[in-house]
Structure 1
Amino acid sequence: MGPIRALRSLGNSFGLAWWAKVETIQPEVTYWFGPFLTRRSLKVRLNGFIDDLSAESPKKINHSLIRCRRNEPLTS
């Protein structure tokens, strides 16, 4: 495990990591994208993730940025 990955894992275990909760409508799916050390680094990468989801043609995509601790599963 690299040092950045170890820091993200540690931050997540303490509930300090940044995550994006991305919800789609038709199909109704919730995706969690993260963990990230900073809100800024999450925002930089989030557009690519949303672009990938857009290729699946959901009717609507909503997202929120949350600082929390997440475990599997990351899709529901």
Structure 2
Amino acid sequence: MNSTADYFPQFGTGTWWVEITTFKPPCTYYFGPFYSYREAELHSPGYIEDLVKEGTGEMLSLIKCCNPTELTVSLEETNQTVPV
């Protein structure tokens, strides 16, 4: 099985990502990587729109330079709570 790094060689190197945390279901999604904050900012509305169409309701969106190890994190499975 291929890892995320096989598809995105820059995965885990501190590139820019759109992080969206939804309340229903309680999940955190990572979209990227992007080479600049501005590039991530330009793509962010499309990801938000897609999640709204899926019926996620309220969400928190951030653009950050990070090294996500997973693209989708279920907060229920990790016993984490959605930040308020």
Shorter-chain TM-score tier: 0.7 to 0.9
Once residues 14 and 22 of structure 1 are traced to their aligned partners in structure 2, the CA distance between those partners, rounded to angstroms, is 20
Query: Which residue identity lines up with residue 68 of structure 1 in the other structure?
Result: C
Secondary structure of residue in 2 paired with 1:32:
strand
- Structure 2 gaps, min length 5: 1-7, 74-84
Deviation at 1:13, TM superposition (A): 4.1
Show the 5 A alignment for 1:1-76.
9-10=9-10, 12-15=11-14, 17-71=15-69, 73-76=70-73
- Structure 1 gaps, min length 5: 1-7
TM-score (norm 2): 0.69
Deviation at 1:14, TM superposition (A): 3.1
1:3 matched residue in structure 2: none
The runs of at least 4 consecutive aligned structure 1 residues that moved more than 6 Å come to none
TM-score (norm 1): 0.75
Deviation at 1:69, TM superposition (A): 1.8
The percentage of aligned residue pairs carrying the same residue is 30
Q: Considering only aligned residues, what root-mean-square deviation do their CA atoms show, in Å?
A: 1.6
Larger fraction in helix: 1
Once residues 53 and 23 of structure 2 are traced to their aligned partners in structure 1, the CA distance between those partners, rounded to angstroms, is 14
Query: Which residue identity lines up with residue 62 of structure 1 in the other structure?
Result: L
